[in-house]
Amino acid sequence: MNQSPDDDPWLGTLERFPTVYHARASWLYDINTESLQKAIFAGLRSLAQEKKSLEITVADIPGYRSGGVVFKFGVGNKDGFDILDDKEAERVIQRIEEKGTFRTLDLVFHLHYSVDDGKRHKVHQDQYLARLTFQPGRVELLLHHLKGVRRIAPDELVRILLSATNRELAQNKYPELELESLTSN
């Protein structure tokens, strides 16, 4: 995709975001919004490059097994998502630098689970939609569980995203985000 940011007015947002939320959080920040949004994308890219260890249950085996989760992300674009690979991350950062920060940012999170026993298991994935709304000094995060069995609960996913963003902020010597509130169902 060799589009300039002007060619893609929907970049970052969905036309229709769900109205049912499985988690709602707000974060406080004390840096400029551009640096924060760049840190969020860097945190997402960092999460996508690692496998997080996790104890997993599988339908055909009793108890928990050692396993993991791999994250894949997408950026809203009107009626779908653009996969957040290196090229897309570069395009989003270019959009932030050339047109300014996003007021609203819609993302999709694909959580791919696996069991570490060398056998093939059908382990269902989870899919979440997230909407981040940026206000001066505050971000509101709305999380919708689209499908799956919630091996990672909505509130835990909010904390994972917060932690990944704070790692990026700390590396760049910026103040970290503060969790103001978190509700989940």
Domain residue limits, the chain = 32-131+146-174
- The pLDDT of residue 7 is 67
Q: DSSP class of residue 116? A: S
Please report, for residues 24, 111, 129, 130, the alpha-carbon distance to residue 19 in angstroms, rounded to integers and kept in the order given.
12, 22, 11, 11
Q: Where is pLDDT greater, at 47 or 64?
A: 47
- Torsion (CA) 9, 12, 16, 17 in degrees, nearest 10: -160
Taking a C-beta distance cutoff of 8 angstroms, is the pair 114, 67 a contact?
yes
> What gap in Å lies between CA 175 and CA 49, rounded to an integer?
24
Q: Is the pTM of this model over 0.85?
A: yes
DSSP letter, residue 12: T
Q: What is the pLDDT of residues 85-144, one digit of tens each?
A: 999 999 999 999 999 999 999 999 999 998 888 777 778 899 999 999 999 999 999 999
Averaged pLDDT, 23-48:
97
